[in-house]
């Protein structure tokens, strides 16, 4: 976390080589373990619980899913095996400086040229954009608007015309970058016919994975608050014996269990391709966002003064909760999406 | 437990039903057959009107009954709590006297536990029972007794030793309700229904043989009753398709069910009617208001999450895993859902939510939700008590200091 890269390459190597985690949901034919959304959710929950700082969300969740959703067999064979074995760090660039998570507002333009496409425009809030070798970029054909003319492109992060800048941001555990494209060479993933579908699918899958990560983090906040309230003594008794704290902690447990149910249910629905799964992705994202942030805030509150210090780790979870709340769209955005997807 | 297979049980019960089941029989006569054959409560012990079958095999029997549409043993209200308590703590004489008539539905039962002065703190009961000659003489007041006005017998928790600590001076009795010393008055609730009763005891008499368990060990017996009550969630009989069947016995059973369900008819409104939310938003046009849309989404997320949490608890149970914390959280979640419904129904319906009666939205259902929901977070243990339980049993937080130890006589009370 404290290094400019934001992660420990030795830990990443072990995660990749010994546990084969980056490819857990990638089919075996592309070098992965062949599991699905449920298993990915389990991995994310544990990473959230530990507040792991690693390019997993960017590489495995965002980029790998985008390639699987959009790419041809040839694209997948070319790109996925190195993601599955941890050799290639990748990410997905969707959002632009306006911060919108609606693909309709994408402005980066892909202009066809002799050997593919050239990208022009600016992406922002790109997770691990400063360290990825491979960028999957959502862009639109010249002269198109809304959800028309959108596609995903693979871009070598070190190519000419790509300028990356680490953004100063609140959450040191998950770093974000701004990326300027000035005529950068890009390769189309899949075809132009699929339109926005692979992008929307990738965002919904990411929302479910992030929801599972968030409930893991929320559980840590609850555990930490409970154990501190048993240790800390004031007025001659452990503060956890006061009803004001007991009731707060019972409410936290309820909230965490409810959000877990939503995150698990959405992952299961995605795994079996239940037609309702995109709606449930929004449901889980909204639920887990509120719960994680609330649990982190209450954990600080229960720690009292020490909870507000830099030396106490709680603030790191709080900051991850805050960045996760906003990433992929805040709860109000997902609640509105849920209503639309349910046809209300 | 006998060593029979599922196929054997299925064959045996099928044969018995084809020999005995007749929908034109009087209800009580049929249920006597059920009690005497053991097919009414197959999971009960053989010596007490059962067949000693395991729960999975008892379910097989249930399936076979359902297949031919045969009426089951009486199971509504407090009777099965009484039966479970007697099976565990009763004397043989008590079992003989009461169990059969519980199953036939000839006797109705109610519970006399809560008091005006002891609600959450049930063990603080001050209704007294004093032994005079061969009888215990009861004086005091009980409350929240569902169906006491129809009951023949009540399960009574009363104080028999005022010098013992709170939990050690209580005894458990079976009291005859229809006697001069017992006055049953309906208790009208804020929603206008009267589902419960308050009951006054003035020198009411209990014969000595109606003590359940030992003197001053009533708390333990009461725990058995409460455990079964929690397991059975509300004592609501399971919904059954009674409407379409013809025959004398079905008519009698329908009448019985109607009487037993009367106190519970507003319970769907108490739970908030989340099922009506989206429908109502569309029919009123409230679904176009972005603020209300957010509130509907918040409520639906909560309700769905609560439903899935209950499913997780059930799945864990079915796999034989110990129930996780999700099990003890259901009641608290239900309170949140009900309160949320009350709020969002108000937003959706707007000014018209003030109206009741035939001219009101959904013929009074919306208004009934609003005035019934406050019961959810109180009945069966308040939200605050649930939070204490979760905090102390699930999160294992230290207990509060107590002020109710020592002789009960000296404990501060209402």
At B315 the pLDDT is: 83
The CATH number of whichever domain residue A216 belongs to comes to 1.20.140.10
Res. B244: pLDDT tops 60: yes
At B35 the pLDDT is: 97
Q: Which residue of B has its CA nearest to A280?
A: B301
A3 domain-assigned: no
A308-322 mean pLDDT: 97
State the smallest CA–CA distance between residue B406 and chain A in angstroms.
22
Question: Could you tell me which residues are beta bridge partners of residue A119?
Answer: A110, A184
User: How many C-beta neighbours within 10 Å does residue B49 have?
Assistant: 25
From A117, A122, A118, A120, select the one nearest A100 (Cα to Cα).
Answer: A122
| A18 and A102 both lie in a single domain | no
Q: List, in order, residues 6 or more apart from B238 with CB less than 8 Å away.
A: none
Question: And the tokens for B69?
Answer: 């549409």
Res. B236: pLDDT tops 90: no
Res. A188: pLDDT tops 80: yes
A chain contacts of residue B301, beta-carbon cutoff 8 Å: 262, 283, 286-287, 335, 338
**Max CA-CA distance within chain B?**
74
**Cβ A51 vs Cβ A173: under 8 Å:** yes
| A261 and A158 both lie in a single domain | no
A130 domain-assigned: yes
B chain contacts of residue A247, beta-carbon cutoff 8 Å: 384, 387-388, 391
Over residues B113-169, the pLDDT tens digits come to 999 999 889 999 999 999 999 999 999 999 999 999 999 999 999 999 999 999 999
Residue B377 DSSP symbol: T
B351-360 mean pLDDT: 93
Q: Do A230 and B397 touch (CB under 8 A)?
A: yes
Task: Give Cα A36 to chain centroid, integer Å.
Answer: 16
Res. B319: pLDDT tops 50: yes
Distances (CA, A) of B22 to B25, B31, B35, B242: 6, 11, 16, 16
Domain end (from A61, A88, A115): A88
Q: Do B387 and A247 touch (CB under 8 A)?
A: yes
**Cβ A81 vs Cβ A134: under 8 Å:** no
Q: List, in order, residues 6 or more apart from B227 with CB less than 8 Å away.
A: none
- Alpha helices of B25-113 — where are they, by DSSP H? 27-37, 55-68, 79-89, 92-104
| A331 and A203 both lie in a single domain | yes
State the smallest CA–CA distance between residue A343 and chain B in angstroms.
10
Nearest to A250 among B301, B304, B390 (CB): B390
Mean pLDDT of chain A: 97
What domains are defined for chain B? 6-76+237-261 (no CATH), 92-233 (2.40.110.10), 266-394 (1.20.140.10)
Nearest to B309 among A261, A283, A332 (CB): A261
At A31 the pLDDT is: 97
A2 domain-assigned: no
The CATH number of whichever domain residue A115 belongs to comes to 2.40.110.10
State the smallest CA–CA distance between residue B228 and chain A in angstroms.
24
Share of chain B above pLDDT 90, in %: 81
A chain contacts of residue B397, beta-carbon cutoff 8 Å: 226, 229-230, 238, 240-241, 245-246, 249
At B159 the pLDDT is: 98
B245-263 mean pLDDT: 89
State the smallest CA–CA distance between residue A287 and chain B in angstroms.
7
Res. B235: pLDDT tops 60: no
Report how far residue B37's alpha carbon sits from residue B51's, in angstroms, rounded to the nearest whole number. Answer: 8
| Angle in degrees, 0-180, between the axes of helices A331-341 and A277-303, rounded to the nearest 10 | 150
Over residues B294-303, the pLDDT tens digits come to 999 999 999 9
| A152 and A74 both lie in a single domain | no
A47 domain-assigned: yes
Report how far residue B292's alpha carbon sits from residue A299's, in angstroms, rounded to the nearest whole number. Answer: 31
Q: Do A264 and B312 touch (CB under 8 A)?
A: yes
pLDDT band at B2 (very low <50, low <70, confident <90, very high): low
**Residues 297 to 326 of B: which have CB under 8 A from any A CB?**
297-298, 300-302, 304-306, 308-309, 311-312, 325-326
| A305 and A213 both lie in a single domain | yes
| A137 and A40 both lie in a single domain | no
Report how far residue B371's alpha carbon sits from residue A123's, in angstroms, rounded to the nearest whole number. Answer: 53
Q: Report the sign of the C-alpha dihedral through residues B172, B178, B182, B187, in that order.
A: positive
Range of the domain at A128: 91-194
A1 domain-assigned: no
| A79 and A135 both lie in a single domain | no
Res. B238: pLDDT tops 60: no
Nearest to B305 among A229, A261, A344 (CB): A261
Q: Quick check: A170 contacting B, CB < 8 Å?
A: no
Whole-prediction pTM: 0.91
Domain end (from A141, A165, A194): A194
Res. B233: pLDDT tops 70: no
B chain contacts of residue A230, beta-carbon cutoff 8 Å: 396-398
**Structural domains in chain A (count):** 3
Res. A258: pLDDT tops 60: yes
Res. B3: pLDDT tops 80: no
Q: Do B325 and A253 touch (CB under 8 A)?
A: yes
Q: Do A246 and B392 touch (CB under 8 A)?
A: yes
**Residues 55 to 84 of B: which have CB under 8 A from any A CB?**
none
State the smallest CA–CA distance between residue B4 and chain A in angstroms.
39
Higher pLDDT, A117 or B259: A117
Give which of A249, A257, A276 to mutate to test B binding, by max B Cβ within 10 Å: A257
| A13 and A30 both lie in a single domain | yes
| A67 and A128 both lie in a single domain | no
A70 domain-assigned: yes
A chain contacts of residue B278, beta-carbon cutoff 8 Å: 342, 344
At B323 the pLDDT is: 62
At B245 the pLDDT is: 80
ipTM of the complex: 0.95
At B100 the pLDDT is: 97
Q: Do B308 and A226 touch (CB under 8 A)?
A: no
Q: List, in order, residues 6 or more apart from A232 with CB less than 8 Å away.
A: A238, A239, A240, A304
The CATH number of whichever domain residue A77 belongs to comes to 1.10.540.10
Nearest to A344 among B287, B298, B304 (CB): B287
| A185 and A206 both lie in a single domain | no
Q: Do B305 and A262 touch (CB under 8 A)?
A: yes
| A56 and A97 both lie in a single domain | no
Question: And the tokens for A218?
Answer: 């929320």
| A116 and A104 both lie in a single domain | yes
Lowest mean pLDDT among A85-89, A274-278, A288-292, B231-235: B231-235
A138 domain-assigned: yes
Domain end (from A171, A194, A217): A194
Res. B210: pLDDT tops 80: yes
A73 domain-assigned: yes
B chain contacts of residue A260, beta-carbon cutoff 8 Å: 309
pLDDT band at A308 (very low <50, low <70, confident <90, very high): very high
At B226 the pLDDT is: 87
At B407 the pLDDT is: 96
Higher pLDDT, A285 or B120: A285
A43-64 mean pLDDT: 98
């Amino acid at each position: 976390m404290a290094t400019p890269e934001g992660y420990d390459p030795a830990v990443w190597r072990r995660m990749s080589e010994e546990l084969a985690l980056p490819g857990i949901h990638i089919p075996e034919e592309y070098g992965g373990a062949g599991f699905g959304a449920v298993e990915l959710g389990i991995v994310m929950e544990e990473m959230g619980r530990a507040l792991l700082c690693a390019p997993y969300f960017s590489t495995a969740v965002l980029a790998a899913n985008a390639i699987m959703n959009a790419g041809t067999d040839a694209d997948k064979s070319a790109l996925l095996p190195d993601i599955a074995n941890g050799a290639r760090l990748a990410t997905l660039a969707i959002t632009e400086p306006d911060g919108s998570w609606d693909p309709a507002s994408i402005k980066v333009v892909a202009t066809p040229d002799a050997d593919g496409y050239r990208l022009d425009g600016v992406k922002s809030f790109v997770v691990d954009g400063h360290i990825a070798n491979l960028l999957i970029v959502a862009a639109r054909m010249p002269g198109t608007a809304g959800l028309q003319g959108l596609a995903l492109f693979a871009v070598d992060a070190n190519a000419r015309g790509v300028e990356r800048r680490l953004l100063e941001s609140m959450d040191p555990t998950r770093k974000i970058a701004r990326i300027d494209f000035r005529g950068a060479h890009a390769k189309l993933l899949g075809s132009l016919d699929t339109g926005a579908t692979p992008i929307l699918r990738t965002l919904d899958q990411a929302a479910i994975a992030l929801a599972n990560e968030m409930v893991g983090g929320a559980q840590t906040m609850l555990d930490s608050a409970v154990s501190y309230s048993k240790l800390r003594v004031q007025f001659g008794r452990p503060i956890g014996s006061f009803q004001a704290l007991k009731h707060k902690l019972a409410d936290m447990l309820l909230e965490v269990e409810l959000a877990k149910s939503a995150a698990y249910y959405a992952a299961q629905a995605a795994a079996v391709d239940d037609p309702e799964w995109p709606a449930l992705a929004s449901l889980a994202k909204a639920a887990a966002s509120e719960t994680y942030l609330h649990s982190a805030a209450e954990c600080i509150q229960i720690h009292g003064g020490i909870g507000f210090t830099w030396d106490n780790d709680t603030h790191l979870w709080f900051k991850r909760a805050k960045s996760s709340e906003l990433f992929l769209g805040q709860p109000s955005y997902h609640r509105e999406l849920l209503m639309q997807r349910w046809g209300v | 437990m006998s060593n029979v297979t599922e196929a054997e049980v299925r064959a045996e019960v099928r044969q018995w039903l084809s020999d005995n089941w007749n929908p034109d029989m009087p209800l009580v006569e049929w249920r006597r057959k059920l009690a005497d054959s053991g097919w009414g409560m197959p999971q009960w012990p053989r010596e007490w009107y059962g067949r000693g079958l395991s729960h999975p095999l008892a379910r097989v029997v249930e399936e076979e009954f359902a297949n031919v549409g045969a009426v089951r043993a009486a199971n509504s209200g407090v009777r099965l709590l009484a039966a479970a308590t007697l099976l565990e703590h009763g004397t043989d004489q008590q079992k003989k006297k009461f169990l059969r008539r519980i199953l036939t539905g000839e006797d109705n039962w109610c519970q006399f536990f809560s008091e005006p002065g002891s609600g959450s703190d049930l063990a603080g009961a001050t209704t007294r029972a004093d032994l005079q000659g061969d009888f215990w003489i009861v004086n005091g007041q009980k409350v929240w007794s569902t169906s006491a006005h129809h009951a023949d017998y009540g399960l009574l928790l009363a104080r028999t030793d005022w010098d013992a600590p709170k939990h050690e001076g209580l005894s458990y009795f079976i009291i005859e309700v229809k006697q001069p010393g017992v006055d049953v008055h309906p208790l009208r609730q804020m929603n206008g229904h009267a589902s419960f009763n308050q009951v006054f005891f003035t020198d009411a008499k209990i014969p000595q043989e109606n003590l359940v368990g030992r003197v001053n060990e009533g708390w333990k017996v009461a725990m058995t009753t409460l455990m079964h009550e929690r397991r059975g969630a509300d004592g609501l009989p399971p919904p059954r398709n009674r409407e379409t069947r013809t025959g004398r016995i079905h008519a009698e059973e329908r009448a019985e069910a109607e009487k037993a369900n009367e106190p519970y008819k507003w319970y769907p409104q108490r739970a908030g009617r989340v099922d009506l939310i989206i429908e109502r938003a569309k029919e009123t046009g409230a679904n176009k208001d972005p603020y209300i849309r957010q509130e509907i989404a918040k409520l639906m997320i909560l309700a769905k999450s609560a439903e899935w949490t209950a499913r997780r608890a059930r799945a864990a149970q079915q796999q034989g895993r110990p129930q996780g914390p999700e099990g003890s959280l259901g009641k608290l979640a239900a309170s949140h859902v009900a309160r949320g419904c009350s709020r969002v129904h108000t937003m959706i319906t707007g000014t018209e939510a003030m109206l009741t009666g035939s001219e009101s939205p959904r013929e009074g259902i919306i208004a009934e939700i609003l005035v019934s929901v406050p019961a959810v977070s109180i009945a069966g243990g308040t939200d605050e008590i649930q939070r204490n339980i979760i905090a102390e049993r699930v999160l294992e937080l230290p207990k509060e200091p107590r002020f109710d130890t020592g002789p009960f006589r000296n404990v501060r009370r209402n």
